[in-house]
Structures are given as structure tokens and as C-alpha cells.
Amino acid sequence: MASFRSSPLLEKQRIFHGRDPDHVRAFLGSKEFRFNLSCRAAKQLDVRINGNYLPSLYVGYIQYGSPAEIRTNPARSDYWLQIPIREHIEAAVARESIICGPDCAAVSSPTTGFIIRTQGNGARFNISLNAAALSRHLTGLLGTAPTAPVEFAPAMDLTTGYGRSLAQNVCLAITDFERAGSMQWDAITISLFEQFIICRLLLSHPNNYMELLQRHERSVTPRDLRRAIDYMRANLAAPITIADIAKASGIAGRTLFQYFRDFRGTSPMRYLRDARFETVHDALKRAQPEQSVAELAMKWGFSHLGRFAVEYRKRFGESPSETLCGRHGAR
């Protein structure tokens, strides 16, 4: 995972800061958490909770400043991913104890209960997933409503596969939030980020629906696939989801993933991203004199212009500005 400075992160997105134990307990208690620390540790207490709320999830930074223990109350119904930044942290999920750190995240499900114990600052990234949103994504992937809550394996390796991609994307998101000082993402970028976190979590991280999600469905007919692709291309400027594509095409989301992986060598959302790059490339070639790279890129869901420009050059052999200037020069 990327290295971050030792000072608190996301301070411009502050939710809570407290050094008084009673004040901290009262705030966390209002959020259905129980907070405990020793009298000796109280002198070091420096709780900071910073973050951004998206429609389906929360991405944030938390530290305690001192050794502490925090427990979830049964009233909480969200799922949590805890990614320590520097030190190792003990996480107890159900009856299993995990030592997580920069290379291993802890994953909790509301049906299992959750305890975190720290020996130091306790600094970490935390992602909270809305249970209703998770259920909607799962329904889209399965093609039918789930019959029981999702339960995830409590440990996630961050050095390989989805875990590695997750850590990289969370770090990029935190860097964006730090630089912008506030939430600057457009609706398409938010939708893509949420789908990457939730859909790939369901498809890649062990859970009680993994067997169903990996089971092969009926063969996809050319007409089915055409409906899916036509819907995607007709909605390139909208924050569409896998559930939307599944509903429009009549193909379960898991089958869409299987088809695109087996026959296109990509995922549905990567195909959608490629189509958006093709569209913005064409738009730059046909741009009006008053149109800019930033305007056209953001119209098609590319809110981070630096990363957009780097990937654009890799794809088309020139920068977006060169494509635009070539068009204007031709005029």
C-alpha cells in the first residue's frame, strides 16, 4: 500500500475530533460504538474521524492517538473494511482474531460483530458499505434477490488480486480527497468507484454467495449481448451500474462478468470505460473552438484530468491537448 505521512489525513473533511474520553465515548456511542481505554492511555487520546460520504459507501480516516478498544453494537447494519496505514491492529470478527496491517485488511459483516484493539495510534483507512446498497448489487449479480445477509471472510490479503487493487484505489481516492479539499468527483466517477468496491468485493472476496456467483448461467445469445452493449453505449454519459445493465439486457450481472471475461478479455465496466475513452477521443477531434479538454473529459466521466491524460496518451499516442489542437489547427 502507498506510504502516507504520519500526520492525520483528510483534515478538510473532518467529522469529529476529540481528546476528552467522555466526549469521545458520547460521540461514538451515538453511532452505536462502544469505546474503551485505560486511564493511562487517556492522556494520549487524540481521536480524529475524517471522511467522505458517497451514496452507497463511506471512505475515511480514523485514529485514536492511544491504545484503545472499540466494539460495534448490534444496531449497526453496515459492512466495514479496515486498512491500517502503518502499525498492526488486532481485529476480532465473530470468534476469529486477525492481526491486520498495511498488507492485510479486516472485513466485518453485521451478522458477526466486530472488535478492534490498538496498541498505538490506531491510524487506518476505513470503508463502510451500506447493507441495502450491497444487497442491490448482489441482486443485480445473481439475477434474483438474496435470501440471507452476506457474510464475508474476515481477512483480506492486500498484496495480490482484488485486495491489492482495492488498496491502490483507496489510496488514489484518499489522495484525490486530500488535494481537492472537498468532494469533487462527478456522478460517473462516484458510480464507478462504488461498483469497483462493492461488485468486485462480492465476486472476488470469499463470502456465502461465492458459489452461486461463480456458477455458470445459461449461454448468452447474440441478441442478449447486443441489448447489453446497446444499453451501455446509449448511456455513456450516465452513472449506470451493473444492475442497470442486467435489468436492461435480461442477463444476470454474474453472467455479464463471465461473458466479458471469457470472450472479450475484460469486465463490463472496463468495456464501458474503453467506450468512454473512444467517445471522448472522437469528441476532441470534433470539438468546437470554445470547448476544452477538461469540459469534454468530465462530460464522459473523467474527473481526474492528470490520470486521464496519462491513460489517453497510452491509448492514442498523443495527449488530449494535441488531439484538440490538431482539430483547431485544421480549422
Mean pLDDT by 10-residue block, N- to C-terminus, for the chain (331 residues)? 72 94 95 89 92 94 94 87 93 88 93 88 94 93 92 95 94 85 73 92 94 74 82 92 89 86 83 93 90 89 85 94 72 45
What is the rounded distance in angstroms from the CA atom of residue 40 to the CA atom of residue 27? Answer: 21
Domain stop point among 85, 117, 141: 141
Q: Is residue 296 part of a domain?
A: yes
Number of domains in the chain: 2
Q: Are strands 79-84 and 57-63 parallel, antiparallel or unpaired?
A: unpaired
| Closest C-alpha among 203, 197, 185 to residue 78 | 197
Domain CATH code at residue 122? 2.60.120.10
Q: pTM for the whole thing?
A: 0.85
- If one counts every other C-beta atom within 10 angstroms of the C-beta of residue 29, the result is 12
Quote the cell numbers at residue 218.
Answer: 445459461
How many angstroms from the chain centroid is the CA of residue 165?
A: 10
Q: Is residue 208 part of a domain?
A: no
Output the pLDDT for position 176. 86
Domain CATH code at residue 320? 1.10.10.60
| Domain hosting residue 91, numbered range | 11-141
| Closest C-alpha among 74, 123, 69 to residue 91 | 69
Output the pLDDT for position 182. 45
Output the pLDDT for position 219. 66
Q: Is residue 255 part of a domain?
A: no
Q: Is residue 74 part of a domain?
A: yes
Domain stop point among 89, 115, 141: 141
CB 72 within 8 Å of CB 36:
no
Q: Is residue 224 part of a domain?
A: no
Residues in the chain: 331
Q: Is residue 25 part of a domain?
A: yes
Q: Is residue 63 part of a domain?
A: yes
Output the pLDDT for position 4. 62
Output the pLDDT for position 327. 53
Output the pLDDT for position 328. 47
Q: Is residue 21 part of a domain?
A: yes
Domain stop point among 126, 141, 156: 141
